Amino acid sequence: MAIARALAKNPPLILADEPTGNLDSKSGDEIINMLTTLHAEQGITLVMITHDLKIAQHCQRIIHIMDGMVEEDEKVQ
């Protein structure tokens, strides 16, 4: 429901804090697929915060932060 509410006004940017948290694997995969499709088809910028490296691998850029400091900034795709 939160994602639908966020998309209601066609935002240029979506901030997603643990978008698959507390979901089963299938539902989590569906959410990630939906978000990456939105990015590809509508150009919406997604900023995802996650501890799950499997989720992070769907991103074009991964920034590792430790104790408030950027440790690594890598382009994936």
- pLDDT, one tens digit per residue, over 42-60 is 999 999 999 888 888 888 8
Q: For residue 29, what are the domain limits?
A: 2-75
Give me the pLDDT at residue 55, please: 87
User: In the beta sheet, which residues pair with residue 74?
Assistant: 62
Please state the domain count of the chain. Answer: 1
Residue 35's domain is classified under what CATH number?
3.40.50.300
Regions of the chain with pLDDT less than 70: 77
User: Whole-angstrom Cα distance, residue 61 to residue 29?
Assistant: 19
Grouping H, G, I as helix, E, B as strand and the rest as coil, residue 31 is: helix
Give me the pLDDT at residue 57, please: 85
